[in-house]
Amino acid sequence: DGGITQSPKYLFRKEGQNVTLSCEQNLNHDAMYWYRQDPGQGLRLIYYSQIVNDFQKGDIAEGYSVSREKKESFPLTVTSAQKNPTAFYLCASSSPDFFSYNEQFFGPGTRLTVL
Amino acid sequence: AQSVTQLDSHVSVSEGTPVLLRCNYSSSYSPSLFWYVQHPNKGLQLLLKYTSAATLVKGINGFEAEFKKSETSFHLTKPSAHMSDAAEYFCVVSDPGGYNKLIFGAGTRLAVHP
């Protein structure tokens, strides 16, 4: 089955720790995205990558870092500098061609809780 | 700049009655518009998308939406609600500038009562 997987489903972090959220896709999509979701606020873009070895900051990148060493993988690290990391994190991918109209496909999400 | 406003944060209907979730957008371009659905603690699933081919767009699970340029609206409807429709719904506009950015509304939580 083609799709996006995220792991773990639930993650608990102590204050001051860095944690890494995994995102893998087998849709052969060039572009990948990380979003943060808080209650009542919709989704906010953290980072995006249009191609391997390249990524750009989104609207709320402070306290986060990413890498894109492989087309299939786009891990997100939540660093200790992120002041309020408790949230639901969603990874997405898309094929930025004319016929896709920018449709993005989403993974099942990771819920991060800071203890 | 593009923006999306979902006019209701919560909508409650009875099973078997019509559903209307309202969305207004602002865009300088001819937009691509989407509705996504999210069940609790799940990812987002595409319901339907408008891509200028037809103003009335049919999606999955009996949902449809009508693009009205004069009203800058893209409201989501369903003739008869089912209990399984209870979820959060997001209206989304695509920003054509550069990197396929999607701009999300704040969401509408739909409750369906027996």
pLDDT digits (tens, 9 = 90+) for A27-57: 999 999 999 999 877 899 999 998 999 999 9
Position A65 pLDDT exceeds 90: yes
Q: Which residues of A touch B36 (CB under 8 A)?
A: 106
Residue A26: which residues within 8 A CB-CB, separation 6 or more? A2, A3, A72
Would you state the structure tokens that stand for residue A112, as one six-digit string?
A: 């991060």
Per the CB < 8 A criterion, the answer to whether A10 and A88 are in contact is: no
Whether the pLDDT of residue A99 is over 70: the answer is no
Mean pLDDT computed over every residue of chain A: 91
Measured between CA atoms, the residue of chain A closest to residue B109 is: A40
Answer whether residue A1 shows pLDDT above 60: no
Q: Which amino acid is at B104?
A: F
Would an 8 Å CB–CB cutoff place A85 in contact with chain B?
Answer: no
Phi, psi values for residue B85, rounded to 5°: -80, -10
Residue A12 banded pLDDT, cuts 50, 70, 90:
very high
User: Region A13-33: what's the mean pLDDT?
Assistant: 93
Residues of B in contact with A42 (CB under 8 A): 90, 104-107
Find chain A residues with C-beta within 8 A of B106's C-beta: 40-42
pLDDT at A83 (0 to 100):
87
For range A61-86, the mean pLDDT: 95
For chains A and B, what is the number of CB pairs under 8 angstroms? 58
Rounded CA gap, A76 and A22, in Å?
A: 7
Q: Is A41 on the interface with B (CB under 8 A)?
A: yes
Report chain B residues whose CB lies below 8 A from the CB of A50. Answer: 99-100
Q: Which residues contact A46 (CB under 8 A, 6 or more apart)?
A: A34, A35, A36, A58, A59, A60, A61, A64, A66, A76, A89
Contact B94 A101 (CB under 8 A): yes
- Residues A51-72, mean pLDDT to the nearest whole number: 95
What is the distance, to the nearest Å, from the Cα of residue B113 to the centroid of all Cα atoms in its chain?
A: 21
Q: A27: exposed, middle or buried (C-beta count within 10 Å: 0-12, 13-18, 19+)?
A: middle
Q: What is the pLDDT of residues B16-67, one digit of tens each?
A: 999 999 999 987 777 889 999 999 888 999 999 998 778 899 999 999 999 9
**Cβ atoms within 10 Å, residue B113:** 11
Phi/psi region, residue B85 (left: phi>0; alpha: psi -120 to 50; beta: rest), is alpha
